[in-house]
């Protein structure tokens, strides 16, 4: 329930309760009336009070409206008190006016209004019972006014606290979103910096060895005729340099072949993949990522990323879809990736089992998982890629490693 709906519900409850009290007092006063004229006048004034309650102004409106509303309420109740000898019955209606006063006005103005209601009651009390009985009776009613005013003010304070809480919640959510965005940028910069470091290292190591090899070859070429033995020694040195350079090149290229997303968290890498896909195709991709992901081994991470990459590629090539859904689901024992679309569907024939899907099946089998390609309910195609979690994570439970739910 929203804050506005909650506030309206409280006001409706207060209005209904006020009507119940008003009807009870009006009927009691009408039944005790000595003349028919007094009975109908009592009912008419009470009805006017009820109608006024239904149109209680908003505290956010013009400042004069609450004062006019309370003035009319006060005058109507005073008229009922004046018409009836047993006026104390209708004094109870000032309890309702006291509560409305604190709901409509700032506390200081509300206190002044309640003092005015107490003064009117004291005047009736002194006229009816004299001194000091009228004063004591008036003090009793004044205490009731204060009680209802304090109760109504507590409602106002609670509503203000709810409003402030709602504002703070919105600010916290906005700040949380910005922090997530900044964290993603920092992570991406860190990965790029690491790749730059690898590139510099390759230049410094591989470049140095190849430069040495080139110099040795030039020298060996010059000495080939005059000093064959020394020339062969230089060629042997070049051979060793080239072998070491090839070894360093293989290790460096193996690190650089993996996509940049492989070094990121799974949630971040999938978000980047989806963002690039949407930018390239114009298709809408609805993402559902769980609040917490386990810390996955690199093989699982890469397999899930490749599955999402292949599925989105197939959607772009074959589906003729307008919307795509990417869902990651986790249980205690497995993690699943589902990619579905609302396209024309996919005939499950050999022509659609290309190298990409075959590669995904092999990845799934190597990791003990499964791959399903099936029609989507409501039209389109769905790819489900499921991998079991490593045994140590199944025993320890899911460990928070990649946070934030996004849809």
Classify 290 in phi/psi space as left (phi over 0), alpha (psi -120 to 50) or beta: beta
pLDDT score recorded for residue 335: 94
pTM: 0.42
Q: Is-cis flag, bond preceding 132, omega within 30?
A: yes
158 with 202, same domain: the answer is yes
- Please name the residues in contact with 280: beta carbons below 8 A apart, sequence gap of 6 or more: 316
Q: What are phi and psi of 132, to 5 degrees?
A: -100, 0
Which tokens go with 303?
A: 């397999």
Q: For residue 138, what are its two tokens?
A: 């008036």
Same domain, 232 and 100: yes
Rounded to the nearest integer, the mean pLDDT of the chain is 78
Of 71-80, 85-94, 227-236, 320-329, the one with minimum mean pLDDT is: 85-94
Give residue 48's domain range: 1-257
Higher pLDDT, 134 or 158: 158
Under DSSP, is residue 402 helix (H, G, I), strand (E, B) or coil? strand
Residues 272 and 368 in one domain: yes
Is residue 35's pLDDT more than 50?
yes
Q: Are residues 81 and 144 in the same domain?
A: yes
pLDDT at residue 257 in the model: 54
Do 166 and 117 belong to one domain?
yes
CATH number at residue 352: 3.30.565.10
- The position carrying tokens 């009117």 is 120
- At 287 the pLDDT is 93
Structure tokens at 349: 């024939």
User: Band of the pLDDT at 15, cuts 50, 70, 90?
Assistant: confident
Asked if 29 and 2 sit in the same domain, the reply is: yes
Domain count, the chain: 2
Query: Would you say 397 and 278 are in contact if contact means Cβ atoms under 8 Å apart?
Result: no
**Residue 400 pLDDT exceeds 50:** no
Same domain, 176 and 32: yes
Same domain, 177 and 304: no
337 and 303 belong to one structural domain: yes
Per-residue pLDDT tens digits for 187-234:
777 777 767 666 655 655 566 567 667 777 787 788 887 888 887 887
Q: Which residue has the higher pLDDT, 407 or 59?
A: 59
For residue 26, pLDDT over 70 is answered with yes
Q: Give per-residue pLDDT as tens, 231-244.
A: 788 788 777 778 77
Domain boundary among 225, 257, 289: 257
Both 288 and 191 in one domain: the answer is no
**Last residue in a domain, options 193, 227, 257:** 257
pLDDT tens-digit readout, 248-263? 676 666 555 555 555 5
Choosing from 213, 240, 257, the residue where a domain stops is: 257
- Is pLDDT of 401 > 60? no
Whether residue 308 sits in one domain with residue 287: yes
The answer to whether residues 132 and 150 belong to one domain is yes
**Residue 284: φ, ψ to 5°:** -90, 125
The CA distances from residue 147 to 7, 157, 350, 364, in Å, are 21, 15, 81, 71
Return the bridge partners of 403, or none: 292
Q: Which two tokens stand for residue 369?
A: 């998982």
Sign of CA dihedral 87, 93, 97, 99: positive
Structure token digits, residue 286: 């609805």
Show the tokens assigned to 328.
């990651």
Mean pLDDT of 55-77: 84
pLDDT at residue 271 greater than cutoff 80:
yes
The C-alpha atoms of residue 137 and residue 132 are separated, in whole angstroms, by 9
Residue 33, sorted as left (phi over 0), alpha (psi -120 to 50) or beta, turns out to be beta
pLDDT of 7 > 60? The answer is no
**Mean local confidence (pLDDT), 100-117:** 84
Query: Using one digit for the tens of pLDDT, what is the confidence trace for 283-327?
Result: 899 999 887 777 888 889 888 988 998 888 888 888 889 999 999
């Amino acid at each position: 329930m929203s804050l506005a709906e909650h506030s309206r519900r409280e006001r409706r409850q207060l209005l209904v309760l006020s009507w119940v009290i008003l009807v009870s007092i009006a009927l009691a006063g009408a039944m005790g009336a000595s003349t028919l004229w007094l009975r109908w006048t009592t009912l008419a004034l009470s009805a006017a009070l009820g109608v006024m309650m239904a149109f209680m102004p908003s505290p956010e409106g013009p400042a004069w409206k609450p004062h006019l509303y309370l003035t009319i309420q006060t005058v109507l109740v005073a008229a009922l008190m004046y018409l009836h000898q047993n006026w104390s019955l209708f004094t109870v209606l000032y309890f309702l006016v006291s509560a409305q006063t604190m709901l409509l006005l700032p506390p200081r103005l509300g206190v002044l209004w309640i003092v005015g209601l107490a003064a009117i009651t004291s005047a009736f009390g002194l006229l009816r019972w004299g001194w000091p009985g009228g004063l004591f009776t008036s003090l009793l009613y004044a205490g009731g006014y204060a009680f209802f005013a304090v109760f109504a003010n507590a409602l106002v304070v609670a509503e203000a606290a709810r409003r402030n809480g709602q504002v703070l919640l919105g600010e916290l959510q906005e700040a949380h979103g910005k922090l997530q965005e900044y964290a993603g940028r920092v992570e991406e910069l860190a990965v790029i910096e690491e790749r730059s470091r690898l590139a510099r290292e390759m230049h410094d190591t591989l470049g140095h060895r190849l430069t040495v090899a080139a110099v040795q070859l030039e020298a060996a070429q010059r000495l080939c005729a005059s000093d064959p033995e020394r020339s062969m020694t230089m060629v042997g040195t070049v051979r060793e340099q080239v072998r070491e350079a090839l070894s360093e090149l293989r290790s460096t290229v193996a690190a650089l072949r993996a996509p940049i997303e492989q070094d990121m968290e799974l949630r971040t890498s999938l978000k980047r993949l989806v963002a690039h896909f949407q930018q390239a195709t114009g298709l809408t991709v609805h993402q559902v990522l769980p609040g917490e992901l386990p810390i996955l081994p690199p093989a699982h991470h890469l397999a899930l990323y490749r599955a999402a990459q292949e599925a989105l590629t197939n959607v772009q090539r074959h589906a003729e879809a307008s919307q795509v859904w990417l869902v990651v689901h986790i249980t205690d024992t497995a993690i699943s990736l589902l990619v579905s679309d609302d396209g024309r569907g996919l005939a499950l024939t050999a022509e659609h089992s290309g190298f990409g899907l075959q590669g995904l099946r092999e990845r799934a089998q190597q990791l003990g998982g499964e791959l399903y390609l099936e029609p989507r309910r409501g039209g389109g195609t769905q790819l489900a890629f499921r991998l079991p979690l490593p045994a140590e994570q199944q025993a320890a439970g899911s460990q928070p490693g990649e946070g934030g739910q996004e849809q």
